[in-house]
Amino acid sequence: MQSNNDPRKNRLLAALPPAIYERWLPKLQRFDMPLGEVLYESGVQMSHVYFPTNAIVSLLYVMQDGASAEIAVVGKEGVVGVSLFMGGNSTPSRAVVQGAGGGYCMRGDELYAEFMTDTEVMQLLLRYAQALLTQMAQTAVCNRHHALEQQLCRWLLLSLDALDGNVVSMTQELIANMLGVRRGGVTDAAVKLQTAGVIRYKRGQIEVLDRPGLERLTCECYAVVKKEYERLLPPRVEDVL
């Protein structure tokens, strides 16, 4: 079994060919990700990329009046900081840890050098970037056309995919900030899901009791995103062991 300190808990790092992985190891630094940690701010030049192993990072767009909405979730399947290898040094979004844990960081210039000189690295990271863009686009569609309880289901399922268990530690106020809605709306949606028997909510934790039921209650957006990640990225380590 792999520990959460193993870089290969991250799906992208696990997908690297052995020779490249060994070359990367000295460049990877263990990085703790406590709840609420800001990995980068909107418009600020970025210096590192982050590979979560058991943390969840939310990419948020923050408005001038302070209001925010989540545009994507990054967990152990991906990397935070795609702008650094896509040719830019900053982004209008903000990256905040929404599920405490850890991962590994790497200097942006080192990753960019790998991206530009190694075709396998380039192809892997570009496929991930395409999957991330799909999630962002689908999130925008979902927020515009689907009911709040369906959005909450989608958000919970994406969060679970980034974790090893079935409990998401998150207050309703933070969820409301992520989804860009009123806290009261999140409360109503959570009550409906709890009444349906698919979740249990208490003290800032949401325990998913019935994942298949949650998948039936969500909209098609989750399936679209999940299918694209599975199509574009190599198999997860746990799927091939």
Whether 25 and 95 share a structural domain: yes
> What would the 3-class secondary structure string for 194-231 be?
HHCCCEEEECCEEEECCHHHHHHHCCCHHHHHHHHHHH
In a domain, 62, yes or no: yes
In a domain, 131, yes or no: no
Number of domains in the chain: 2
Structure tokens of 233? Answer: 């990225």
Residue 4 DSSP code:
T
Whether 112 and 167 share a structural domain: no
Range of the domain at 50: 7-122
pLDDT in tens, 210-232: 999 999 999 898 899 999 999 99
pLDDT in tens, 54-91: 999 999 887 777 777 888 899 999 999 998 888 777 77
In a domain, 137, yes or no: no
pTM of the entire structure? 0.87
What one-character-per-residue DSSP string does 92-159 give? SEEEEEEE-EEEEEEEHHHHHHHHHH-HHHHHHHHHHHHHHHHHHHHHHHHHHHS-HHHHHHHHHHHH
In a domain, 43, yes or no: yes
Whether residue 149 contacts residue 192, with contact meaning beta carbons closer than 8 Å, is answered with: yes
CATH value at residue 86: 2.60.120.10
In a domain, 53, yes or no: yes
CATH value at residue 160: 1.10.10.10
